[in-house]
Amino acid sequence: MGQIKTILHCQGRAYWRRVTRPGSLTVGNQGILLIVSMLFFMKYVRALSFAGNEIAKGNPGSLERLLFAITLAWLFPLLSSTRSTVAIRTVRHLPLSLTDLFFIKAGSLFLPPFSWMVVAGSLAIGAFLFIDFVACWIDLVSNVERSAPTAGTFWDLGARVCCGWFLRGKG
């Protein structure tokens, strides 16, 4: 673990030094890519809130488009990793196992800030889906509660499931 940390630390430092070098943002259109990424991210956050409203109306199209966009966005750090992060051939002569090399490669994908944005975007959509799921569940429970004939059956079923779990655990 210490070896992986050392190499990633070294590579992280190298990455930021390259980024902060004068003129580095003009190399390979990095500056433009950064601006476009920021704009895209801001738009994404707004689109997420819009998708929330749409899905409440039973229209999952916006959410599907966002999931597709985030999948595409993941391709960028993956495809550009050879230029911006550790080349495995640079460390292959060192005493590192295949697992170490895998973690070094995977860890080094998260060095560029673009990767952080994609991670933040993915976490945002994950959090949104979780909140949506919880809200739907609460909505379902409250609807069942309000409907007198089904409420008894619902609680009865819940109690049976809990008892079953409890008894299976004891057995």
Instruction: Write down the residue that tokens 């460390």 correspond to.
Output: 91
Rounded Cα distance, 76 and 109, in Å? 10
Stretch that binds other proteins, among 44-52, 87-95, 115-123, 132-140 (CB under 8 A): 87-95
17 binds other proteins, rule: CB under 8 A: yes
Token representation of residue 10? 């070294």
Among 66, 91, 111, 118, binds other proteins (CB under 8 A): 91
Give min distance, CB of 40 to other proteins, in A. Answer: 28
93 binds other proteins, rule: CB under 8 A: yes
Rounded Cα distance, 152 and 133, in Å? 24
Give min distance, CB of 21 to other proteins, in A. Answer: 8
Instruction: Write down the residue that tokens 């749409």 correspond to.
Output: 54
83 binds other proteins, rule: CB under 8 A: no
Q: Which of 125, 127, 81 is nearest to 102 (CA)?
A: 81
81 binds other proteins, rule: CB under 8 A: no
Among 49, 71, 90, 147, binds other proteins (CB under 8 A): 90
Among 71, 75, 96, 169, binds other proteins (CB under 8 A): 96
Rounded Cα distance, 98 and 109, in Å? 17
Residue 154 CA: distances (Å) to CA of 2, 142, 161, 162, 166? 53, 11, 11, 12, 18
- Work out the widest C-alpha separation in the chain, in whole angstroms: 72
97 binds other proteins, rule: CB under 8 A: yes
Give min distance, CB of 111 to other proteins, in A. Answer: 12
**What are the residues binding other proteins (CB under 8 A)?**
2-3, 6-7, 10-11, 13-15, 17-18, 21, 86, 89-97
